[in-house]
């Protein structure tokens, strides 16, 4: 099988916003407790943060981490997580049927972000609370001093303001599972008033309003139209979420799900444009895809906790163990965001540690990299710059959701400095290699720097604490630039990062 690609230096889609390589930490399961925070762990620092986890997060260079939820935020009192630890209340988290002693709150999280080389993207509670809690929260975080809330922060030991500039106005408010779920109209009105108040405090904040929690929601896409009708003038981004699952054990259907993702982005972009036109607005609202990942491996085992009456502390929840097949899916999701760089300006892999996450830990034991750590790492490292349009002439297959899914899935990025070109390529074919060739118009001096590849004879192969290097990338040879074209053979079911200097 052959696939011929054409790119041209001047045929660009858009600058890629670095924030598409952001991530997410929720007070859920062991993401915080025994994930990033475990006082007494052999690698813990003076603040109780695990050093092994910090090292792995730092390497990912993830620009923002969304916090504290997720579903959790919709019944969260941010005040519970500040002040002396010994007087913080233990609360029942209704979203995940868990107890939380609030030993980590916003101040500790901001400290952790600094150590991890990232920045906070905070969410306010628009489920059980609203405008007042949100305006107090932003004042507590960002005002230098001389007011009630900012002086309280200073009294708590954080003299300098946190200067958090990116805020989510609630989470998945379209979902009936959400504490304080609202209709689009109710949410739109509340989100608008909350956003207005937050902007009255600081004009320069960037605000993310809730879109649909999935394109399968019965309220999609009316939800987006109604919410934006209320909020278009005061928000910057519309939040979308999508999770991927191979519940039918059908690899080709599973890998075709990124077509749904692409259509979702396309449809929502249409709704944004419609409201922009309706309001005769000059302003652009863009997409914050602030939850995405594979999520299904742990569904069965989670039922015990989610349907039980135990209210455990930091339970093993949503601990998906990712396999090699998921590498291909995560690689294709990231390719989709790069190809849609004109619309998607923020994306957060959900989540970062232990909970549907690229990094896993054992309490009192090691941390290790899941299979999906690698495609996220490579996209974050080499996927910054300009997204180039690639025309693909290659074979397709019929899947449940589309009749012409390309076997070859790719994105192409020219680095910010312009001196490097990276192809992120997935061959979705189950059994056949692809003879890959790409014309490199406008790049006369191109040469191959490195071809990184992930393949595995077993699609279901995983990494574990005992065997952390079962599924890892390797460097392969045989990839060349010849007669102005990049050429190589892509093995069946392979994820590839081909780096050129140009």
**Active-site annotation holds for 172:** yes
Tokens of 131: 């405008």
Give the x/- contact pattern for ligand AHR in 214-243, rule: CB under 6 A: ---------------------------x--
Tokens of 420: 């490097």
Stretch that binds ligand AHR, among 68-76, 198-206, 366-374, 470-478 (CB under 6 A): 68-76
The number of residues that bind ligand AHR (CB under 6 A) is 11
Which residue, 70 or 385, has its beta carbon nearer to ligand AHR? 70
C-alpha 95, offset from chain centre? 20
What is the C-alpha to C-alpha distance for residues 115 and 24, in angstroms, rounded to an integer? 16
Residue 28 CB, nearest approach to ligand AHR (Å):
6
Which residue, 231 or 351, has its beta carbon nearer to ligand AHR? 351
Stretch that binds ligand AHR, among 33-41, 63-71, 134-142, 250-258 (CB under 6 A): 63-71
Concatenating the DSSP letter of every residue in 195-229 gives HHHHHHH-TT-EEEEE--S-TTSTTTTHHHHHHHH
CA dist list (Å): 378 to 346, 403, 454, 474: 17, 30, 12, 12
Which residue, 209 or 502, has its beta carbon nearer to ligand AHR? 209
Letter string b/e over residues 112-136, b meaning 16 or more CB atoms within 10 A of that residue's CB: bbeebebbbbbbbbbbebbbebbbb
Subset of 137-196 contacting ligand AHR (CB under 6 A): 171-172
Residue 11 CB, nearest approach to ligand AHR (Å):
36
Q: Does 291 bind ligand AHR (CB under 6 A)?
A: yes
Residue 364 CB, nearest approach to ligand AHR (Å):
25
127 and 186 Cβ atoms separated by less than 8 Å: no
Closest CA to 349 of 241, 259, 475, 455: 241
DSSP state of 336: H
Residue 241 CB, nearest approach to ligand AHR (Å):
6
Q: Which of 38, 139, 291, 325 is catalytic?
A: 291
Q: Which of 172, 224, 259, 325 is catalytic?
A: 172
Collapsing DSSP to helix, strand or coil, 19 comes out as: helix
**Active-site annotation holds for 108:** no
Which residue, 356 or 412, has its beta carbon nearer to ligand AHR? 356
Residue 35 CB, nearest approach to ligand AHR (Å):
13
Residue whose CB is nearest to ligand AHR in the complex, by number: 70
Which residue, 69 or 473, has its beta carbon nearer to ligand AHR? 69
Residue 220 CB, nearest approach to ligand AHR (Å):
14
Closest CA to 342 of 257, 284, 393, 421: 284
Closest CA to 427 of 484, 373, 349, 488: 488
Among 29, 68, 69, 394, interactor with ligand AHR by CB under 6 A: 69
What is the C-alpha to C-alpha distance for residues 458 and 436, in angstroms, rounded to an integer? 23
Residue 356 CB, nearest approach to ligand AHR (Å):
6
Stretch that binds ligand AHR, among 42-50, 67-75, 202-210, 328-336 (CB under 6 A): 67-75
244 and 333 Cβ atoms separated by less than 8 Å: yes
Directed axis angle between helix 373-382 and helix 51-60, to 10°? 50
Which residue, 354 or 453, has its beta carbon nearer to ligand AHR? 354
226: which residues sit within 8 A by CB, 6+ positions away?
184, 185, 188
Among 29, 70, 81, 394, interactor with ligand AHR by CB under 6 A: 70
Which residue, 173 or 413, has its beta carbon nearer to ligand AHR? 173
Stretch that binds ligand AHR, among 66-74, 204-212, 395-403, 476-484 (CB under 6 A): 66-74
Subset of 344-403 contacting ligand AHR (CB under 6 A): 350-351
Letter string b/e over residues 270-297, b meaning 16 or more CB atoms within 10 A of that residue's CB: ebbeebbeeeeeeeebbbbbbbbbbbeb
Residue 70 CB, nearest approach to ligand AHR (Å):
3
The residues facing 393 across adjacent strands are: 4
State the catalytic residues. 172, 291
Q: Which residues bind ligand AHR (CB under 6 A)?
A: 26, 69-71, 171-172, 213, 241, 291, 350-351
């Amino acid at each position: 099988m052959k696939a011929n690609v054409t790119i041209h230096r001047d045929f660009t889609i858009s600058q890629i916003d670095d924030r598409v390589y952001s991530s997410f930490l929720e007070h859920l399961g062991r993401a915080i407790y025994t994930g990033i925070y475990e006082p007494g762990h052999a690698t813990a620092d003076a603040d109780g943060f695990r050093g092994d986890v910090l090292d792995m997060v730092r390497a990912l260079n993830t620009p923002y981490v969304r916090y504290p939820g997720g579903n959790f935020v919709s019944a969260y009192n941010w005040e519970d997580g500040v002040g002396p630890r010994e007087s913080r209340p233990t609360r029942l988290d209704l979203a995940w049927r868990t107890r939380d002693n609030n030993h980590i709150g916003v101040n500790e999280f901001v400290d952790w972000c600094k150590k991890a080389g990232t920045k906070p993207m905070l969410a306010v509670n628009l489920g059980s609370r609203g405008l007042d809690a949100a305006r107090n929260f932003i004042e507590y975080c960002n005002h230098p001093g001389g007011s009630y809330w900012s002086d309280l922060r200073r009294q708590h030991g954080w003299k300098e303001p946190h200067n958090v500039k990116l805020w989510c106005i609630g989470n998945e408010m379209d979902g009936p599972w959400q504490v304080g779920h609202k209709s689009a109209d109710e949410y739109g009105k509340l989100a608008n008033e909350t956003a207005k108040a937050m902007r009255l405090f600081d004009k320069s904040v960037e605000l993310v309003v809730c879109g649909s929690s999935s394109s399968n929601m019965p309220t999609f896409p009316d939800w987006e139209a109604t919410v934006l009708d209320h909020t278009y003038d005061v928000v910057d981004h519309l939040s979308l979420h999508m999770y991927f699952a191979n519940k039918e054990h059908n690899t080709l259907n599973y890998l075709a799900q990124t077509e749904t993702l692409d259509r979702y982005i396309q449809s929502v972009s249409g709704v944004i444009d419609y409201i922009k036109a309706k309001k005769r607005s000059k302003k652009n609202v863009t997409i914050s895809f602030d939850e995405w990942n594979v999520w299904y491996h742990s569904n069965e085992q989670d039922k015990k906790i989610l349907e039980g009456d135990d209210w455990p502390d930091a339970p093993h929840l949503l601990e998906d163990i990712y396999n090699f097949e998921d590498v291909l899916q995560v690689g294709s999701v990231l390719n989709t965001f790069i190809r849609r760089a004109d619309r998607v300006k923020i994306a957060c892999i959900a989540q970062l540690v232990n909970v549907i996450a690229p990094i896993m830990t054992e309490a009192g034991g090691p941390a290790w990299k899941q299979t999906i750590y690698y495609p996220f790492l490579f996209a974050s490292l080499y996927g910054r710059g300009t997204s180039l349009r690639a025309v693909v002439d290659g074979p397709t297959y019929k899947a449940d959701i589309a009749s012409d899914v390309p076997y070859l899935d790719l994105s192409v990025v020219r680095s910010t400095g312009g001196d490097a070109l990276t192809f992120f390529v997935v061959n979705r074919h189950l059994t056949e290699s692809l003879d890959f060739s790409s014309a490199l118009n406008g790049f006369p001096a191109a040469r191959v720097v490195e071809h990184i590849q992930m393949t595995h004879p077993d699609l279901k192969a995983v990494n574990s604490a005992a065997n952390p290097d079962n599924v890892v990338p390797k460097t392969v040879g045989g990839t060349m630039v010849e007669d102005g074209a990049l050429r190589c053979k892509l093995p069946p079911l392979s994820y590839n990062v081909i780096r050129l200097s140009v």
